[in-house]
Amino acid sequence: MKVNRRSFLQLAAVTAVSSAFCGLGFETEALAADRIAMLEPKWSKQTTSVCCYCAVGCGLIVNTDLKTKRAINVEGDPDHPINEGATCAKGASIWQLAENKERPPRPLYRAPYSSEWKEVSWDWALGEIAKRVKKTRDASFTEKNDKGQVVNRCNGLASVGSAAIDNEECWTYQAMLRALGLVYVEHQARICHSSTVAALAESFGRGAMTNHWNDIANSDCILVMGSNAAENHPISFKWVTKAMVKGAKLISIDPRFTRTSAKADLYCQIRAGSDIAVLGGLIKYILDNDLIQRDYVVSHTNAPFIISDKFTFNDGLFSGYTKNGDDEDYVGAYDKSQWAYERDEQGLPKRDESLKHPRCVYNLLKSHYARYDVDKVVSVSGIDKDGLLEFYKLFSATGKPDKAGTIMYAMGWTQHTVGTQYIRTMAMVQLLLGNIGVSGGGVNALRGESNVQGSTDHCLLWHILPGYLATPNAGLPTYREYVDAKAKPHLQGAKDPKSAAWWQYYPKYMSSFLKAMYPEASSEDAYAWLPKAEDGKTYTWLQLFEAMRKKEFTGFFAWGMNPACGGANAGKNRQAMTNLDWMVNVNIFDNETGSFWRGPGMDPKKVKTEVFFLPCAVSIEKEGSITNSGRWMQWRYQGPTPRGESKSDGHIMTELFDKIRALYAKEGGAFPEPIKNLSVDMWKTHGEFDAHQVAKLINGYFLKDVTIKDKTYKKGTLVPSFALLQDDGSTCSGNWLYCNSYTEDGNRAARRSREQTPEQEKIGLFSNWSWCWPVNRRIIYNRASCDNTGKPYAPQKPVVAWNGKSWIGDVPDGGWAPGTKYAFIMLPNGHGHVFGPGRQDGPFPEHYEPMETPFTKHEFSNQLNNPTALRFAREALAVADPKYPYVATTYRVTEHWQTGLMTRHTPWLLETMPQMFVEMCEELAKEKGIENGEKVMVESIRGSIWAIAMVTKRMHPLKVMGKTVYQLGMPWCFGWQMPHDGSGGDSSNLLTPSVGDPNTGIPETKVFVANVRKL
Ligand code: SF4
């Protein structure tokens, strides 16, 4: 049969419609239908949406049957600037995710010691949960700590979630949790990119991807390291390919030869856990060969700053180190005051712009990396020497003013005990080469969940409030003491008239946030109502599950998360859940977390934990915004209605909170003020959650008539930009970073115009498509792309340029005339940090071995591991242990997403990638007598899983410090709960250790040691 495009589409349509409607019981009607005809307005409505999987943020078109209100088709949006109509396998199957018979239509309840789920009504489920929340809160509420400091904290409840919910829901959820007094508030961002925020904020001032997806096409050299973009962010690769067509070089450095490597001009294999050695060598190469962009380095970085002589580095340790006892969570800590700048009489850092002073950052940097010679780097990482030198040559060539190199990285860098320092190393390279703020440059963190950028911005994290404001701690008891302490270093920096020191406006943002939470309260009262963390204590993901293991919590929310598979040392998490009295699991499908009581090794009759499962809507069934990796806030519209009785997360949150509030109104209870006064009524229309109302509150309103520079803004109008927020209670803004996103001109995230000025079009800024934080600026730090007269270093691809009167191109990062303010406006002294004095483990990155390693020493110092790492001394680690001789790592595959919960339930995707596998080289397989396709057991000191052996040429043995090293690679997207017959296997996180980075606590899930044996 000859099949042309039209008949192919018709054929595919009949098959697809047939499958779609079979599940709904409409076979006869569907078989007769022409799917193409059904896409016409007569039959279906069309809405635009954004993919719910990775943070590339591809645009979608959703067709919903007018009669049944069910989705009949989802495809790429051809007008969307990022994906231009394309999607990867996951995006293409979203329709099947929504129309999925595995979705529980109503809430489920598992009673203590029961072996089954029972279907229950929403009213009953929410009512019972509200009662348990109140009981736990009242019983565990702590007004004062042991020191007598007011903390107003609920200790018996913890929450994880979520990066998969909309911005408006993230804000709502954090508000609700903080009103209840929780401090253990964590989610996916902690375990995937928290080290990114810590590294980029330290280096440049903001913790996000500096450029955006389309801009990758403007690069001259793209380094993909710590990521496999072609596999995990497939549509991003469209822009890599466009750059390569224009002549850009692609370099892939990875423990495995990946789909990205297959397209690269240069591929080098390295040992997992050795990237700082490789990048430290790059810094040495750049300095030795004088390849820095000198004008940029002197004008825009702290390389000329002079450092106090208290700062030293000796055999792997910086000055100021103290080792902790085994009873503490961190191995040790530094007194960072020893890493300070030398200051003048005004308190401003002293500088030597000639870069000759022996204690200026530039010379300290040279001396620090003098040890990172090529032979040592080769020895520690196992990299091929010629390949390494080629990499150094290619990438450092982007230090020329008119060239730009970029980096695309992801979990391969973030998830290490030195994760923050991996990223810091590259940030330093990019500052030295003048690659920050420029088109085709930047440090590009590839975010993996559709809204993990937004959920981070809205701070579903223990240590920050929306807009990256610090969580209050017990030592700052009043609002005034808190804001003064936070603004102080920036006010100090602002003594230099050229330093914008933007965080000096901290009180305006905090005051406006408190007003968005508690509109009727004074700043002092609202501040008092926020829970306070203990001074010096951290409450990160790993510590949350350690506290759960120690029975510190009665109740637990897992909202849109699956920690029974997604967290490091998942077996520990599963066991810890047996210590809870009750748990609420909100998701599209039941998962390994909600059903932990019936999982492998559990006897339901012995598990007391009550579990409530609440079914939530799929992204295309609700309205709201998400923020992609490139900081684009994009609005999604509702297509089909929520399937069965499922509800949007926002509806579930507000309905639950209303019930809790009603209980407090009726019965009283511990510290009811924050619950009673929370701004819930401002989140609703006609008594129901309304994403537009929350989006407006996040942007912020004038709460009274306010006159600023002769212009009066009426009470109730939306604040046009964060520069107009006030610290006197006259404005509210749920998140100052998003102020400008929803103004009196409308919902800017919903904009769909591809119109650009000629300057914008030159580099593809798409400034009128959606909205981007901050204030629609597409490339941050963009004034660093110009010299002190406002002339772009790369005139052929300018980001901004001074036309004599104003800046043209992108929204400038500060509108001042050229030469009047430094470019890195969020840092107190206005210069990018080559020397980063704020991190817990040192101002310069240093190679340490992972916490689990086959080695007892390495080439750079006698300090084996990160001396400040997070670990629990009672948990054994395998170091040079012959029982676990191989270096293991984990990763994702195109067809699955995160723990695979959504994709394992999507038949097309599961069929393509059905079960757990482990990659190994031919040499190892031969040694172990393992054939390709055989079932094997992979074991670490924490647990074991079966997997199918994938014997491959994509990995080969490495020679590392005189020893042959074999590596194992495994996906982490499988779990016992789906497929139901167990044929998929279980999570590789049963093998990974609970150790973490000292800056953020991100677990070291990307490198550990394991063994493999034939079954
Ligand atoms: S998963 Fe990522 S790359 Fe694939 S369609 Fe969705 S947003 Fe695009």
Residue nearest to atom 2 of ligand 1 (CA): 54
Query: Ligand 1, residues 214, 233, 897, 973: which to mutate, most atoms within 8 A of Cβ?
Result: 233
Instruction: State yes or no: pLDDT of 28 exceeds 90.
Output: no
Mean pLDDT of 891-919: 97
pLDDT tens digit sequence for 395-410: 999 999 999 999 999 9
Task: Please state, as a whole number, how many other Cβ atoms lie within 10 Å of the Cβ of residue 127.
Answer: 14
Beta-carbon contacts of residue 408 (< 8 Å; ≥ 6 apart)? 216, 222, 223, 224, 227, 229, 233, 236, 240, 444, 446
Instruction: State yes or no: pLDDT of 118 exceeds 80.
Output: yes
In angstroms, what is the span from residue 815 Cα to ligand 1's centroid?
35
Specify the range with the lowest mean pLDDT, choosing from 11-15, 104-108, 891-895. 11-15
CA angle, 604 then 608 then 610, to 5°: 95
Residue 764: predicted pLDDT: 98
Q: What are the angstrom distances between the C-alpha of 679 and each of 134, 330, 557? A: 19, 38, 22
Question: CA 771, CA 143: separation in Å to the nearest integer?
Answer: 41
Q: Which helix (DSSP H) or strand (DSSP E) does residue 626 occupy?
A: strand 624-627
Instruction: State yes or no: pLDDT of 15 exceeds 90.
Output: no
Beta pairing, strands 469-470 & 464-465: antiparallel
CA angle, 355 then 358 then 361, to 5°: 60
In angstroms, what is the span from residue 680 Cα to ligand 1's centroid?
33
Mean pLDDT of 81-101: 97
Question: CA 258, CA 43: separation in Å to the nearest integer?
Answer: 44
Considering only CA atoms, which of 60, 72, 66, 55 is closest in space to residue 20? 72
Instruction: State yes or no: pLDDT of 550 exceeds 70.
Output: yes
Residue 3: predicted pLDDT: 35
Query: Two tokens at 382?
Result: 């196992």
234 in ligand 1 pocket by Cβ < 6 Å?
yes
In angstroms, what is the span from residue 798 Cα to ligand 1's centroid?
29
Instruction: State yes or no: pLDDT of 45 exceeds 80.
Output: yes
Mean pLDDT of 653-676: 98
In angstroms, what is the span from residue 451 Cα to ligand 1's centroid?
12
Question: Which atom of ligand 1 is found nearest the CA of 83?
Answer: 8
Question: Which atom of ligand 1 is found nearest the CA of 235?
Answer: 3
In angstroms, what is the span from residue 467 Cα to ligand 1's centroid?
26
Residue nearest to atom 8 of ligand 1 (CA): 58
Percentage helix, strand, coil for the chain under 3-state DSSP, each rounded to 5: 35, 20, 45
Mean pLDDT of 941-947: 98
Residue 596: predicted pLDDT: 98
Question: CA 706, CA 186: separation in Å to the nearest integer?
Answer: 37
Considering only CA atoms, which of 87, 234, 86, 163 is closest in space to residue 619? 163
Residue 440: predicted pLDDT: 98
In angstroms, what is the span from residue 235 Cα to ligand 1's centroid?
6
Question: Which atom of ligand 1 is found nearest the CA of 233?
Answer: 3
Cβ–Cβ under 8 Å, residues 836 and 424: yes
In angstroms, what is the span from residue 53 Cα to ligand 1's centroid?
6
The β-bridge partners of 94 are none
Mean pLDDT of 764-791: 97
Beta-carbon contacts of residue 405 (< 8 Å; ≥ 6 apart)? 219, 220, 221, 222, 223, 395, 397, 398, 430, 433, 435, 440, 441
Cβ–Cβ under 8 Å, residues 657 and 684: no
Q: Which residue matches tokens 């817990």? A: 840
91 in ligand 1 pocket by Cβ < 6 Å?
yes
- Give the whole-number percent of the chain exceeding pLDDT 70: 97
Residue 33: predicted pLDDT: 54
Indicate the pLDDT class of residue 23, thresholds 50, 70 and 90. very low
Q: Which residue matches tokens 């390291």? A: 225
Question: Which atom of ligand 1 is found nearest the CA of 897?
Answer: 1
Residue 21: predicted pLDDT: 36
Question: Which atom of ligand 1 is found nearest the CA of 234?
Answer: 3
Q: What is the DSSP letter of 234?
A: G
DSSP string, 845-902: ----B-SSBS-S--SS-S--B-TT-B--TTS---BS-TTS-EEEEEE--TT--TTSHH
Question: Which atom of ligand 1 is found nearest the CA of 56?
Answer: 7
54 in ligand 1 pocket by Cβ < 6 Å?
yes
In angstroms, what is the span from residue 83 Cα to ligand 1's centroid?
8
Question: Which atom of ligand 1 is found nearest the CA of 60?
Answer: 5
Query: Ligand 1, residues 48, 50, 51: which to mutate, most atoms within 8 A of Cβ?
Result: 51
In angstroms, what is the span from residue 522 Cα to ligand 1's centroid?
44
Considering only CA atoms, which of 657, 648, 640 is closest in space to residue 614? 648
Number of residues that make up the chain = 1015
Considering only CA atoms, which of 746, 720, 719 is closest in space to residue 731? 719
In angstroms, what is the span from residue 50 Cα to ligand 1's centroid?
9
Q: Which residue matches tokens 């029982």? A: 883
Query: Two tokens at 493?
Result: 């920096």
Considering only CA atoms, which of 563, 660, 786, 867 is closest in space to residue 136? 660
Question: CA 965, CA 956: separation in Å to the nearest integer?
Answer: 9
Residue 52: predicted pLDDT: 98
1011 in ligand 1 pocket by Cβ < 6 Å?
no
In angstroms, what is the span from residue 79 Cα to ligand 1's centroid?
16
Cβ–Cβ under 8 Å, residues 93 and 906: yes
Beta pairing, strands 917-921 & 935-939: unpaired
Considering only CA atoms, which of 444, 435, 446, 432 is closest in space to residue 797? 435
Instruction: State yes or no: pLDDT of 106 exceeds 70.
Output: yes
Beta-carbon contacts of residue 632 (< 8 Å; ≥ 6 apart)? 57, 212, 769, 770, 771, 772
pLDDT tens digit sequence for 688-728: 999 999 999 999 999 999 999 999 999 999 999 999 999 99
Indicate the pLDDT class of residue 19, thresholds 50, 70 and 90. very low
Question: Which atom of ligand 1 is found nearest the CA of 50?
Answer: 7
52 in ligand 1 pocket by Cβ < 6 Å?
no
Question: CA 700, CA 719: separation in Å to the nearest integer?
Answer: 6
Type of residue numbered 953: K
Residue 882: predicted pLDDT: 98
In angstroms, what is the span from residue 52 Cα to ligand 1's centroid?
8
Indicate the pLDDT class of residue 30, thresholds 50, 70 and 90. very low
832 in ligand 1 pocket by Cβ < 6 Å?
no
Residue nearest to atom 4 of ligand 1 (CA): 88
Q: What is the DSSP letter of 384?
A: -
Q: How distant is the alpha carbon of residue 52 from its chain centre?
A: 15
Q: What are the angstrom distances between the C-alpha of 552 and each of 546, 548, 759, 922? A: 9, 6, 57, 47
Query: Two tokens at 243?
Result: 């750059």
Question: Which atom of ligand 1 is found nearest the CA of 76?
Answer: 5
Indicate the pLDDT class of residue 38, thresholds 50, 70 and 90. confident
Angle between helices 275-288 and 374-381 (to 10 degrees): 170
Residue 34: predicted pLDDT: 62
Question: Which atom of ligand 1 is found nearest the CA of 54?
Answer: 2
Type of residue numbered 958: L
Q: Is 316 left (phi over 0), alpha (psi -120 to 50) or beta?
A: left
436 in ligand 1 pocket by Cβ < 6 Å?
no
pLDDT tens digit sequence for 166-217: 999 999 999 999 999 999 999 999 999 999 999 999 999 999 999 999 999 9
Indicate the pLDDT class of residue 39, thresholds 50, 70 and 90. confident
Residue-averaged pLDDT of the chain = 95
In angstroms, what is the span from residue 239 Cα to ligand 1's centroid?
14
Mean pLDDT of 554-561: 98
Please report how many Cα atoms fall inside a 13 Å half-sphere around the Cα of residue 539, on the Cβ side: 24
In angstroms, what is the span from residue 97 Cα to ligand 1's centroid?
14
Considering only CA atoms, which of 966, 878, 970, 977 is closest in space to residue 927? 966
Indicate the pLDDT class of residue 68, thresholds 50, 70 and 90. very high
Residue 40: predicted pLDDT: 81
53 in ligand 1 pocket by Cβ < 6 Å?
yes
Largest CA distance in the chain: 86
Indicate the pLDDT class of residue 42, thresholds 50, 70 and 90. confident
Question: CA 1006, CA 383: separation in Å to the nearest integer?
Answer: 18
Query: Two tokens at 487?
Result: 């603004």
Cβ–Cβ under 8 Å, residues 578 and 607: yes
DSSP string, 264-327: -SEEEE--TT-HHHHHHHHHHHHHHTT-S-HHHHHHHBSTTBBBPTT--EETTEETTEEEPPTT
Residue 10: predicted pLDDT: 39
Considering only CA atoms, which of 161, 109, 156, 159 is closest in space to residue 135? 156
In angstroms, what is the span from residue 58 Cα to ligand 1's centroid?
6
Residue 37: predicted pLDDT: 76
pLDDT tens digit sequence for 780-796: 999 999 999 999 999 99
51 in ligand 1 pocket by Cβ < 6 Å?
yes
Type of residue numbered 536: G
pLDDT tens digit sequence for 788-821: 999 999 999 999 999 999 999 999 999 999 999 9
pLDDT tens digit sequence for 951-993: 999 999 999 999 999 999 999 999 999 999 999 999 999 999 9
Mean pLDDT of 368-383: 98
Question: Which atom of ligand 1 is found nearest the CA of 89?
Answer: 4
Indicate the pLDDT class of residue 31, thresholds 50, 70 and 90. very low
Query: Two tokens at 533?
Result: 């963390």
Indicate the pLDDT class of residue 12, thresholds 50, 70 and 90. very low
CA angle, 571 then 576 then 577, to 5°: 105
Instruction: State yes or no: pLDDT of 591 exceeds 60.
Output: yes
Instruction: State yes or no: pLDDT of 18 exceeds 60.
Output: no
88 in ligand 1 pocket by Cβ < 6 Å?
yes
